[in-house]
Amino acid sequence: MTNMVLLEGGLSILALIVMVVIGLILLIVLVKVLLFIIIPGIMALVVWLLTKDPLLAGVTFLLVAVLTIIFRR
């Protein structure tokens, strides 16, 4: 146990590195999700501003999101 370095909080360096990697992966996934939602959100906002109908805005959001998924592949 002499070669295992402990931090003040009781975490080993390996555990700290694992948590940083997991945090970076979560951050990347969050940014990807936000970038995916921007285009359908803008389209739904435009439809809502033109019609003031939340149902049409929701349908627009879902349609644009599905089309984005289909045509990205």
**pLDDT grade, residue 9 (50/70/90)?**
low
pLDDT of 60 reads: 96
pLDDT of 15 reads: 85
Measured over the CA atoms of residue 42, residue 44, residue 47 and residue 50, the dihedral's sign is: negative
Burial 2-33, CB ≥16 within 10 A → b, else e: eeeeeeeeeeeeeeeeeeeeeeeeeeeeeeee
Give the residue extent of every domain in the chain.
Answer: 13-72
pLDDT digits (tens, 9 = 90+) for 30-62: 999 998 999 999 999 999 999 999 999 999 999
Distance CA 11, CA 20 (A): 13
**pLDDT grade, residue 5 (50/70/90)?**
low
- pLDDT of residue 24 exceeding 60, the answer is yes
